[in-house]
């Protein structure tokens, strides 16, 4: 069976059109018929704690370089969402974590992202900045740099963590931007 031309590197003419049986305009190769589905990206991450302290990473890369976030990033091929969240904690904070539960599913439609954020515990308080972090730290709730958080979803995840802290049975939060709420 012939592979689509984009994999062979020959690349036929790409046109935007609605393929048969579809309802949305897609990028379609007129030579081989390959349909390039551009779908939302999945971000995985975790609210990690050591006792009553939260792990935060100061971003060393754009977007939002210099702002604080939880360890999170794009899911890779051939990994589960929890494996991805554990990998991101290792990459960004040199941290080993144990995942407890799915905390939230955040839909950020304007940038085509779905974020799966877990509740996790650090295996050890020994953390260090990875290549994508300028600095990492463990913060009490009162010490969190609320005015310097990188993304609204970090705020959502931290607040939701606080709401379900200590609960063993809770539903993951599913939200996106809510009018009148930051």
pLDDT in tens, 84-140: 999 999 999 999 999 999 999 999 999 999 999 999 999 999 999 999 999 999 999
Mean pLDDT over residues 14-23, rounded?
A: 90
State the DSSP string of 19-59. -TT-SS-EEEETTT--EE---PEEEEEEEEEETTEEEEEEE
The two three-digit tokens of residue 38, written as one number:
């551009």
For residues 175 and 156, the answer to whether their CB atoms sit within 8 Å is: yes
Q: What pTM did the predictor assign?
A: 0.83
Look at residue 129 in the predicted model and tell me its pLDDT. Answer: 98
């Amino acid at each position: 069976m012939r592979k689509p031309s984009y994999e062979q590197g020959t690349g036929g003419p790409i046109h935007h059109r609605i393929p048969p049986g579809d309802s949305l305009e897609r990028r379609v190769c007129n030579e081989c018929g390959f349909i390039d589905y551009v779908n939302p990206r999945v971000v995985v991450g975790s609210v990690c704690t050591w006792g009553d302290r939260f792990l935060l990473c100061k971003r060393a890369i754009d977007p939002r370089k210099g702002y604080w976030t939880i360890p999170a990033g794009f899911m890779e091929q051939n990994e589960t969402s929890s494996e991805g969240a554990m990998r991101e904690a290792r990459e960004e904070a040199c941290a080993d974590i144990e995942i407890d539960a799915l905390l939230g599913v955040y839909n950020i439609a304007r940038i085509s992202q779905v974020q799966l954020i877990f509740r996790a515990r650090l295996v050890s308080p020994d953390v260090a900045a990875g290549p994508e972090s300028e600095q990492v730290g463990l913060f009490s709730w009162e010490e969190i740099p609320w005015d310097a958080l990188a993304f609204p979803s970090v705020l959502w995840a931290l607040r939701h963590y606080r709401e379900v802290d200590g609960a063993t049975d809770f539903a993951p939060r599913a939200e996106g931007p809510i009018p009148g709420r930051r």
